[in-house]
Amino acid sequence: MTDFQNSARRVIAIEGKAIRALDSRIDLNFSKACELIMASQGRVVVMGMGKSGHIGSKIAATLASTGTVAFFVHPGEASHGDLGMITRADVVIALSNSGSTEELLALLPVIKRKGIKLISLTGNESSPLAQFADVNLNVGVSEEACPLGLAPTASTTAALVMGDALAVALLEAKGFTADDFALSHPGGALGRKLLLLVENIMRTGSAIPIVPDHSTISETLMEMTAKGLGMTAIVDKHQHLLGVYTDGDLRRSIDHDIDLKNTPVTSVMTLNCKTIRPHILAAEAVKIMDENNIHALIVIDENRRPIGAISVHDLLHAGVM
């Protein structure tokens, strides 16, 4: 009977060894490859056939999402017209474990004639592709994880990791920020966390729980119940925020047997309440709530006037949490 777990561990061990071997190959060639890309006035065009093509497509996507304009071109399609997508200002990254992939080699004369810089990722430094390239990055492996030595496994993992190393090195060199990353990832949870501001999802107008400072606790509770945030802002006659009254304050009022109908809310409200500004990332609101174990925040302007309110439910609904 097949020992699935031992097979899996053997694969992980072999591929881990392949990754560790890359460390000694991060040398002047790697730096030159980065410098070629940094100096380029064009795009990075990634090419590869078969499994190398799949890895190349992922490398192109990673580069593009981290500040290096890149796209993938299939070598077979390039020979039938798509090579016109590549300009003299571009840099080509070609992946081939053998370094002898016919579809790639067929493109080399045109790449040379156009004066396009070429970076190769190969497992054979003596191969035609490696010898032709301006820079070759050695991603060779001592063995594949496939017991037959046929299916690309460790070799594709090594190429993928080298591609990630290039992308991150370029990201850091360019000073690429989280805000830059967000602009290329506007969709999904990642984009929402990095792009959504408090003002984009806060409750405004009549949805904000507010009572004047002359209100009683009982009147404040009516506002809390109506707005459903478990808290209410208390403001003075100029609409400046004085504090908030929360569910927690209510429990303390009851514990101290305070007269809810006649006691002014200002005598029991929370003075040093947490607030947030509208132009802050919504993700920061999540952090403030988590750190202070609260479920809602009042949004204030520069004069501490309430202009909105935001709750855990609002953040969940917006996909920020």
What average pLDDT does the segment 9-32 reach? 95
The CATH number assigned to the domain holding 172 equals 3.40.50.10490
Are 305 and 230 members of one domain? yes
**Lowest-pLDDT range, 33-37, 67-71, 235-239?**
67-71
Pull the structure tokens for residue 165.
């190393």
My answer on whether 159 and 284 are in the same domain is: no
The pLDDT of residue 190 is above 90: no
Q: What's the whole-number mean pLDDT along residues 117-140?
A: 96
Q: Is there a single domain that holds both residue 24 and residue 120?
A: yes
Residues 15 and 156 in one domain: yes
Closest CA to 304 of 284, 277, 265, 269: 277
Query: Do 164 and 15 share a structural domain?
Result: yes
Q: Does 126 share its domain with 20?
A: yes
Please give the average per-residue pLDDT across 11-27, as a whole number: 95
CB count within 10 Å of CB 39 equals 9
Number of domains in the chain: 2
Please give the pLDDT value at position 81.
65
User: What is the extent of the structural domain holding 287?
Assistant: 198-318
The angle at the Cα of 52, spanning 46 to 56, to the nearest 5 degrees, equals 30
Place 191 in a pLDDT band, splitting at 50, 70 and 90.
low
CA distances from 125 to 94, 136, 162, 286 (A): 13, 7, 15, 51
Beta partners for 88? Answer: none
Same domain? 58 vs 165: yes
Q: Look at residue 97 and tell me whether its pLDDT is greater than 90.
A: yes
- The token pair that represents 246 in the structure block: 């929360």
- The answer to whether residues 278 and 314 belong to one domain is yes
What is d(CA 269, CA 234) in angstroms, rounded to the nearest whole number? 8
Q: What is the pLDDT at residue 263? A: 93
pLDDT for residue 1 is more than 60: no
Quick one: 207 and 171 in the same domain?
no
Each as own residue / partner, the long-range contacts of residues 107-114 (CB below 8 Å, 24 or more positions apart, any chain) are: 107/47, 107/75, 107/78, 107/79, 107/83, 108/132, 110/83, 111/86, 114/86, 114/87, 114/88
Same domain, 82 and 26: yes
- As a whole number of angstroms, the distance between CA 218 and CA 264 comes to 9
Instruction: For the full predicted model, state whether its pTM sits above 0.75.
Output: no
> How far is C-alpha 314 from the geometric centre of its chain's CA atoms?
22
Does residue 159 sit in the same domain as residue 75?
A: yes
129 is a domain residue: yes
- Residue 310 contacts by C-beta under 8 Å, 6 or more apart in sequence? 198, 201, 202, 203, 276, 282, 285, 296, 297, 299
3-state helix, strand, coil in the chain (%, to 5): 50, 20, 35
Residue 87: predicted pLDDT = 86
pLDDT category of residue 183 using cuts at 50, 70 and 90: low
